[in-house]
Amino acid sequence: MTNDALWQRRKNALSPTYAHFYDEPLNVVKGDGVWLYDETGSKYLDCYNNVVSVGHCNPTVVKALCDQASTLNTHTRYIHENVVVLAEKLAAKFPEKLDTCIFVCTGTEANDLALQMARCVSGNKGVIVTDAAYHGNSTVIGAMDQRRKNFGQFDWLETFEPPNTYRGPHAGKDEGEMASLYASEVDKAIAKLAGKGISLAAAMLDLSFDSNGILIPPGDYANLVADKVRAAGGLVICDEVQAGYCRLGEYWWGFERYGVMPDIVTIGKPMGAGHPVAAIVTTREIARKFSEIDRYFNTFGGNPVSAAVAAAVIDEIDDRKLLENATDVGTYLQAGLEKLAGKYSFIGNIQGAGLFWGLDLVSDPVSKTPMSDRELRHITTLLKDEGVLMGYTGRYNNCLKIRPPLIFSKENADQALSAMDRVFRTLG
């Protein structure tokens, strides 16, 4: 079947809410390691898909999936060793206090449940998130992205300015000053809630600031924010769906990089290498308080198959030393990106860490005017035509997003950098 025919059938069968990457839809039929293949056999270096952090069709993970699916798939109202083994493996990756797990199927479910728990434990209902944050798509979690007008305004939600050191109200100042000024934006959001008579239940923080263009906050920003949230009676929820699982290099989790101690951590995407599994990791005390007031059951959450897959992913990251790889190849990739930035003035800023980078692209480096959504779509389409898959993100949709599987090698980095160079050259 031709792509056009498949595209037409898809338009007839799926809702018009479905979108696709690139100017023309890409028909991907096979995946292997860092490579994706289309229906003509053309191959693409995957510099976008963090979900398959251990590589497309990782044989160890696929074997764990198939072995367990052939043996038993049921739910947590019976007992089964797999979910216990997974919870123990996860707890071993967290600070000692974060020792209690609840399993769900998606990051949305994890964040929605985290909010239920935070409200229950704090007794408050207010929530603060960075402006243009994305934490999922349930009614309350989707509402946190105020760009989605359908959800309307909620009195319990306030947003604050993301800690962007390149653009934004406090950019370009001394690092300590930026940290304190951006943290004070959190005070304003809490004060706005208080002005409506609403106390703080939680701040939901993605410390990789993915949807803000992948930001590394200045100085002690993260801890200053955590302190303010706790002083206001709220819980610190770290949404590690993007930042976690070694993505930023050096540490398993984004919060470790900043020495922040979360009350609740939510994890997802790469956790099952594409299999729908996600979780909450929290303290025994918070889980106990929640259990005294409410119950929670998720039909598919923590089933033996999902648990086997998620355990295999953790083992694979450890056995193949993918944290070390993310750190090493990340440093190598960063150097290459900096070289490109020296060559092309429309690369306004390089932001990120490990194997997660955003290039803030500008039409004018002095005014820092963001390139348009259309331009980024064009650039990613050109990169795709060069055999390299990337995406874009950010408040203005102008940050080229580089987020390859953790098995990405220095050779892969060279392939990506050289394709970027070829494409950037054509942009003048």
**Which residues between 81 and 100 bind its own copies (CB under 8 A)?**
81, 83-84, 87-88, 91, 99-100
Using the contact rule CB under 8 A, the part of the chain among 105-113, 311-319, 362-370, 396-404 near its own copies is 105-113
Q: How far apart are CA 52 and CA 275, in angstroms?
A: 9
Angle between helices 59-71 and 304-319 (to 10 degrees): 160
Site mask for its own copies (CB under 8 A), range 35-54, x = bound: -x------------x-xx--
| Shortest CB 157 distance to its own copies, Å | 12
The pair of three-digit structure tokens given for residue 147, joined into one six-digit string = 């760009």
C-alpha angle 182/188/189, rounded to 5°?
100
Using CB under 8 A as the binding rule, the residues of this chain from 358 to 417 that contact its own copies are none
Contact 135, 143 (CB under 8 A): no
Q: What letter represents residue 166's amino acid? A: Y
Nearest to 345 by CA among 326, 321, 363, 370: 363
Question: Which one of 2, 78, 197, 426 is in contact with its own copies (CB under 8 A)?
Answer: 78
Using CB under 8 A as the binding rule, the residues of this chain from 149 to 178 that contact its own copies are 149-151
Cα dihedral sign, 70-76-82-86: positive
| Shortest CB 328 distance to its own copies, Å | 26
Using the contact rule CB under 8 A, the part of the chain among 28-36, 181-189, 226-234, 370-378 near its own copies is 28-36
Using CB under 8 A as the binding rule, the residues of this chain from 239 to 278 that contact its own copies are 268-269, 273-277
| Shortest CB 63 distance to its own copies, Å | 9
- Residue 102 is a binding residue for its own copies (CB under 8 A): yes
Cα dihedral sign, 285-290-295-298: negative
Which residue number, 133 or 181, has a Cβ lying nearer to its own copies? Answer: 133
Which residue number, 161 or 206, has a Cβ lying nearer to its own copies? Answer: 206
> Which stretch of DSSP H or E encloses residue 410?
helix 410-427
Which residue number, 219 or 304, has a Cβ lying nearer to its own copies? Answer: 304
Pairing status of strand 278-283 against strand 388-389: unpaired
- The Cα-based distances of 412 to 49, 368, 376, 390 in angstroms read 14, 30, 22, 13
Considering CB under 8 A, how many residues would be counted as binding its own copies? 99
Nearest to 312 by CA among 268, 278, 253, 272: 272
User: Measured over all CA atoms, what is the biggest interatomic distance in the chain, rounded to whole angstroms?
Assistant: 62
Residue carrying structure tokens 């594409």 = 274
Question: Which one of 2, 18, 367, 426 is in contact with its own copies (CB under 8 A)?
Answer: 18
Using CB under 8 A as the binding rule, the residues of this chain from 285 to 314 that contact its own copies are 287-288, 290-291, 293-300, 302-303, 305-306
Question: Which one of 34, 54, 113, 337 is in contact with its own copies (CB under 8 A)?
Answer: 113
In the sheet with 388-389, reading across from the earlier edge strand, the strands are 35-38, 43-46, 388-389
Using the contact rule CB under 8 A, the part of the chain among 3-11, 343-351, 369-377, 394-402 near its own copies is 3-11
Using CB under 8 A as the binding rule, the residues of this chain from 173 to 202 that contact its own copies are none
